[in-house]
Amino acid sequence: MRSPIHREGWPAIGIFAGLNALLFVFAGPFGWLGVPLTAWCVWFFRDPERVVPTGNGIVVSPADGRVLPIAVAAPPPELEMGDAPLTRISIFMNVFNVHVNRNPCDGTVVGLAYRPGRFFNASFDKASEHNERMAARIRTRGPDGGTVDIAVVQIAGLVARRIKCDLTDGQAVTRGERYGIIRFGSRLDVYLPQGIEPLVVEGQYAVAGETLLANLGAVVVTAGDSIS
């Protein structure tokens, strides 16, 4: 059976528990002051199971958290997806959310890029451009039977200092499968292909692996466009 605690959490939990034990040894009853912090550390690294929706073309949330204002912006340049603006859905994870990240769709990893940066509050819009990040480009089946690319970007936050991504270039991925974790407090951005409308709204709470962000089979047709 899978552990309810993510493997990345055990070293941190060990440090918190060790310091808490020392506090009991040297400060007696004041050691109880450290118990809530140790309990929070265990809670932070929880890794619950999720029920992943089935169906072709579904894109699910890669993170637990609050949906920030939906923007139109160019994807990270290091992914070489061009500079055309795409719909960007951003999910902000505070320090009480589950921080295990999951693949948003089925497909193949065709690009990975790490970029160092700053550590602004992850809820700020400028965090997408300036903060440390790990970006992945996933190629998946499009609405016309061809392929489209989706970008998913792990972004460090104000106190986050470690981004863990288990993806490798060329890897086949499954929707809802765990692929990484960020600690502590951060955000994930998902860039949708052109013509795909989001199924979430600002302020909505998203659940990793469960909440539908988009349906790649639902293409928005604008004036001058046609569908064969």
Please list the residues that pair with 138 across neighbouring strands: 109, 150
Verify whether residue 186 is a known catalytic residue: yes
Q: Roughly what angle, to the nearest 10 degrees, separates helices 9-27 and 35-44? A: 170
Catalytic residue among 61, 90, 128, 186: 186
Q: In terms of Cα–Cα distance, which of 80, 117, 89, 54 is closest to 201?
A: 89
Residue 159 and residue 131 in contact, taking contact as beta carbons nearer than 8 Å: no
Specify the residue for token string 């992850």.
Answer: 122
DSSP letter (8 states) at residue 3: -
Q: Pseudo-torsion of CA 67, 69, 75, 79, nearest 10°?
A: -20
Task: Provide the b/e sequence for 186-221 (b: ≥16 CB within 10 Å).
Answer: bbbbbbbbebbebebeeeeebbbbebebbbbeebee
164 burial via Cβ count (<10 Å: 0-12, 13-18, 19+): middle
Residue 175 and residue 212 in contact, taking contact as beta carbons nearer than 8 Å: no
Residues classed as catalytic: 186
